[in-house]
Amino acid sequence: MKIDLRSDTVTKPTPEMLHAMMSANVGDDVYKEDPTVNELEKRIANMFGKEKALFFPSGSMANQAAIKLHTQPGEQLIADQYAHVYNYEGGGVSFNSGVSCKLINGHRGMITAAQVEVSINPPDFYHSPLTSLVCIENTTNKGGGACYDFEEIIKIGNVCKDHDLGYHLDGARLWNALVAKGESAQQYGDVFDTISVCLSKGLGAPVGSVLIGDEDIMENAIRVRKVLGGGMRQVGYLAAAGLYALEHHITRLKEDHRKAKEIGRVLEQLSFVKHVEPIDTNIIIFTIEGNEEEFISQMASKNVHFYGMGQGKLRFVTHLGYTDDMHSVFLELLSSKKLDKVI
Ligand SMILES: *Cc1c(COP(=O)(O)O)cnc(C)c1O
């Protein structure tokens, strides 16, 4: 039994999702004639209480398009130092939009309104780049699946309003936050100008992200998507997977969260585990005594796969494809004395 805890992106469509995909009604989405894509976009826009939503082939492209919509070349955005837009989108912020990043040293990938306030360059000080956008992530990826306190999200939103800054949410794992905190999509729609959500992480669709916003900011989104090469034709087959996932795979995320917490509790008992970060959702970050690479390859030889994140941090991610059976096998392996000896 192969246990793959590298990421929640490794999921494959369930037979039911595949069935929904195969029976999708499709058309040319570049002409906006794909009824399934149109339905997905409408459904997601409604969930968030926004006027428009646009389907993208990846979360990176949705974020990059949002940054382009909010900024002009030479300007600056504010984000946490762990931000996906800064670390994991290939330098797209500068390549696509000619924008620099002011990075904040936040807590588990989360920043505060006070930190944002002092990071804004005064607009009349023409020596510095003009600050025009704040990007936050919920849940945080590199921050270990941490969820923001919604009050802080509102406070950051107020700072953005006061200083006339755009406010973008990288919500690749927003579904996890909604389930963990009992929040609604509408709440988020009320606060942010733009939101990207991912269908291919926790929700288990093979491909797809959606960018959401009101008409004014989204007016140019379809052109930017075209420029980035993201206009797709009969893509309703993929949108159908997203629609299926919205219906059937959101509430089950609590199972991933439960399993993550159970793994965390076992890790804390192990003599060679130094520290386990708090577990809010489906990501477990921990450090060990001894050599991480050795631990990773030892576990791989036992058919358990995961990544190191640098700086001695190791990560497990639970997901739709990590079954109850795998969970029992994995917990047993982790707590076996054999493993303790290996390390
Ligand atoms: C995965 C992820 C994305 C988008 O990634 P793609 O692989 O381009 O779909 C964006 N932001 C965060 C925080 C992510 O974890």
Q: What is the pLDDT of residues 248-299, one digit of tens each?
A: 999 999 999 999 999 999 999 999 999 999 999 999 999 999 899 999 999 9
CA–CA separation, 199 and 235 (whole Å): 14
Cβ–Cβ < 8 Å for 59, 90: no
pLDDT of 336 reads 84
CA–CA separation, 115 and 118 (whole Å): 6
Q: What residue owns the CA closest to ligand 1's atom 3?
A: 59
Cβ–Cβ < 8 Å for 141, 317: no
CA–CA separation, 39 and 279 (whole Å): 35
Pocket test for ligand 1, best of 84, 86, 282, 283 (most atoms within 8 A of CB): 84
Residue 283 host element (H or E): strand 283-288
User: Which residues, 6 or more positions from 90, have their beta carbon under 8 angstroms from its beta carbon?
Assistant: 60
In sign, the C-alpha dihedral spanning 257, 263, 264, 266 is: positive
Q: What residue owns the CA closest to ligand 1's atom 5?
A: 59
pLDDT tens for 37-66 read: 999 999 999 999 999 999 999 999 999 999
pLDDT of 343 reads 55
What is the DSSP secondary-structure string of 201-264? Answer: STT--SS-EEEEE-HHHHTTHHHHHHHTT---SSTHHHHHHHHHHHHHSSTTHHHHHHHHHHHH
- Enter the tokens of residue 44: 């997601």
Q: How confident is the model at residue 224 (pLDDT cuts 50, 70, 90)?
A: very high
pLDDT(342) > 80: no
* Position in ligand 1 atom list of the atom nearest CA 89: 8
Task: Report the pocket of ligand 1 as residue ranges, CB < 6 Å.
Answer: 58-60, 63, 84, 137, 141, 170, 172, 198, 201, 209
Q: How confident is the model at residue 36 (pLDDT cuts 50, 70, 90)?
A: very high
pLDDT of 337 reads 65
Pocket test for ligand 1, best of 9, 168, 170 (most atoms within 8 A of CB): 170
- How much is the average pLDDT of 99-127? 98
Q: Where are the alpha helices (DSSP H) in 88-149?
A: 92-97, 113-119
Pocket test for ligand 1, best of 9, 56, 60 (most atoms within 8 A of CB): 60
